[in-house]
Amino acid sequence: MKQDKHSILLESKKKIKSGSKPEIEGLVESEIKLESEDELESEDELELAESAALEFLTLSEERWKEIDLLIDEINSNKEDEEIYNVLCRSTIVLMVAHLEGYVKEAASALIDDLKYNVSFSELPTPIKKTYVSSFLNIDSQTKSDQQRIKKLMDEFEKLNAEIAVNPFLFEQNKNPSPSIVEKVMSNFGVNNFFGNIHESKLDDVFKNDLSETIKLLEELRTYTLNAVKHFPYNIDIGVFNIRERKDRIKRDHSLWVTFLDELLQKRHSIAHGSNFTNDLSDSLLSDFRNKAQILQYAIALVLFNAGLKKEKQS
């Protein structure tokens, strides 16, 4: 039977006590070699540890099964108008709830990966600024404010402070409106998120070609899960033609802002009791579902990419 390394080490220690000098030297060399191999294996395990981002995305994939199950039930109950309407209205509310939770949990996953893998001084500058600013009573970005932020950043770097996620999030019970999504993104140094994904490959979903949409979803799923498997992430947002834009686009020019506004309006009219009829259908909900998941992948790619320290930062 093949012995494990720990059994061999234990046996060699016993022999060292009673062996001759040459024998002892040989045993000691073997022991050192085995212990070195153990250390290397431990280092490899640390290097191959899966990221919090991957864990979060995997869980998110499972949550979409709830929406899919509801849509399947809707399709099965087309002949029963009462059940059909209830299921349609319930599905849109749950879909928005998933999107709200997604933004918060994506931010939390990124913070967890940063805390585990890098020191405070190694954090991207915009992330350090957001965190430090939460400790200061700052209403405007004056020169004096910037000096206070810089001074506290220097102190936090000396202390190697550990960041927390709360300063990066939005208030409780806030739906993920375009302005809220932009706010969270800006806290991580991403300015103009909806402008950045404007006219990207993600816009293909608005062609309303189901086969192309399914293909795009699979590409996004495969790429994103592989890109964030380990930290530091291996992300290239240019793969989907997402790029940084300085110029902001008009609100009504963004397909994604228009979609998110419509999705939230449908949810609000149901949740707040202003609409007691059902203007939703299984086909419309399936379309919303696909667009919402693609938007989630866009949020993940751009947000996690912001967690990678760039060579040049202001």
Query: Which pLDDT does position 138 carry in this prediction?
Result: 76
Compute the distance between CA of residue 217 and CA of residue 290 in angstroms, rounded to an integer: 8
Query: Which pLDDT does position 131 carry in this prediction?
Result: 95
Query: Which pLDDT does position 276 carry in this prediction?
Result: 66
Query: Which pLDDT does position 45 carry in this prediction?
Result: 46
Mean pLDDT, the chain cut into blocks of 10 residues (314 residues total)? 47 52 53 54 59 96 94 94 92 94 96 96 95 83 87 95 93 81 95 95 95 97 97 96 88 92 92 74 95 97 91 44
Query: Which pLDDT does position 278 carry in this prediction?
Result: 82
Question: How would you label 246-262 residue by residue, b for 16+ Cβ within 10 Å and e otherwise?
Answer: eeeeeeeebbbbebbee
Max Cα-Cα span within the chain: 92
Query: Which pLDDT does position 13 carry in this prediction?
Result: 47
Query: Which pLDDT does position 247 carry in this prediction?
Result: 82
- Choose among 112, 96, 124, 154: nearest CA to 271: 96
Compute the distance between CA of residue 181 and CA of residue 194 in angstroms, rounded to an integer: 9
Compute the distance between CA of residue 256 and CA of residue 258 in angstroms, rounded to an integer: 5
Query: Which pLDDT does position 29 carry in this prediction?
Result: 58
Query: Which pLDDT does position 161 carry in this prediction?
Result: 95
